[in-house]
Amino acid sequence: MTYLSDILEQPRVLHSLIDRYRTQNLLASLTQDVSINRYQQVVLTGMGSSFYGLFPTWLYLNQCGVPAIHIEASELIHYGLEMLNDKTLLVIVSQSGESIEIQRLIQAVGDGVTIVSVTNSQDNTLANHSHIALCTDAGTEVPVATKTYTSGLGLLHLLARSLTGNLLPQDYKDLLYVADQMTALLKNWQDWLEPLAIHLQSASFYSFLGRGPAIASAMVGALILREAARLNSVGLSGGQFRHGPMEAVSPSTGMILFSSPGRTAELSQRLAADIASHEGRVVLVGQSAALPVVGLALPAVDEFLSPIIEIVVAQLLAARFAENAGIVPGEFRWAGKVIQAE
């Protein structure tokens, strides 16, 4: 098991997840007793990539008129417990279901709040204390999240539609299409990765940018680069980047900008052009609109599914940069897969 093998295994894991939850309409049967109309709010929480992966869910629920709050578990247990009650649907995402913040949150909440969990296995502390326990069953991986993250995104996509009564057979087909497109992207990954890596490798600092659901890709992309390649990087929304961080753009800065199809695609493309005009090293991932910048065109998929395929680019860039630095991605120095210290 290596970081690269985990990346390459992602399409298979997604296919397996789709087959499992599509069979006998499993997700709808699990959530049929959790009507969204029973709750005044949905609280979405997790840590690390599990937290960032909830960005698309948060946006989708609010677009459907469902009041949703997105808050880190580490802050929820100290500053947000008072808003949780029997009118709250609490969605907790944790790959292991065992990190310290998740354990303390479960202890603090007790039995009065309905919990829906998404974890990687069926037997863990979080799953065992959930009213509805959903499992990605992605298998073991190195400490850098890859297949657990993308399969979690897929499952959260289906969950959000199920909770709002919008889950249709087409949603499984759309997710299957994304898995197939990921397979195609990974088939010749070394060919398309090389020009992107060469364009970015001389940078001393990296920013990952996105808007809408792609904010998840920006945040997780930066996290992966720090974890796997130990490079200084930050994830930001494209809108926030214009409010100050733009001043740091120079030939020594590397920018990876995710341009998902959707209502903010044009804004992201315009930002990429502006960064390039200021001599920043920008790579535009997604829809390019024929801009004169280095980029990688991705297949047009549902805006809320785009993060599943976008993140592959960040994963492989991190692998390449780690190799250049003589680092084995996934070998952590100061932490582990399951965080036990708050």
pLDDT at 336 over 60: no
pLDDT tier, 110 (very low <50, low <70, confident <90, very high otherwise) = confident
pLDDT tier, 201 (very low <50, low <70, confident <90, very high otherwise) = confident
* Alpha carbon separation from 138 to 14, 44, 121 (Å, rounded): 8, 21, 8
pLDDT at 334 over 70: no
Q: What average pLDDT does the structure give for the chain?
A: 91
pLDDT tier, 338 (very low <50, low <70, confident <90, very high otherwise) = low
pLDDT tier, 199 (very low <50, low <70, confident <90, very high otherwise) = very high
**Residue 46 confidence (pLDDT):** 97
pLDDT at 96 over 70: yes
**Residue 111 confidence (pLDDT):** 81
Hey, what long-range contacts does 267-271 have (CB within 8 A, 24 or more apart)? 267/211, 267/238, 267/239, 268/209, 268/210, 268/211, 268/214, 268/238, 271/209, 271/238, 271/241, 271/242
Share of the chain above pLDDT 70, in %: 94
SS3 36: helix
Q: Which domains does the chain have, with CATH numbers?
A: 3-181 (3.40.50.10490), 189-324 (3.40.50.10490)
Cα 118 to Cα 112: distance, rounded to the nearest angstrom: 19
User: How many residues would you count in the chain?
Assistant: 342
Q: Which residue has the higher pLDDT, 186 or 336?
A: 186
Question: Is residue 141 within 8 Å of residue 148, measured between CB atoms?
Answer: yes
pLDDT digits (tens, 9 = 90+) for 256-309: 999 988 889 889 999 998 998 898 899 999 977 667 788 899 998 999 999 999
pLDDT digits (tens, 9 = 90+) for 42-59: 999 999 999 999 999 999
pLDDT digits (tens, 9 = 90+) for 233-247: 999 999 999 999 999
pLDDT at 219 over 80: yes
pLDDT digits (tens, 9 = 90+) for 120-164: 999 999 999 999 999 999 999 988 999 999 999 999 999 999 999
pLDDT at 337 over 60: no
**Residue 65 confidence (pLDDT):** 94
SS3 7: helix
Question: Is residue 159 within 8 Å of residue 57, measured between CB atoms?
Answer: yes
* Alpha carbon separation from 314 to 196, 207, 234, 267 (Å, rounded): 11, 11, 13, 21
pLDDT at 6 over 80: yes
pTM over 0.85: yes
Share of the chain above pLDDT 90, in %: 76
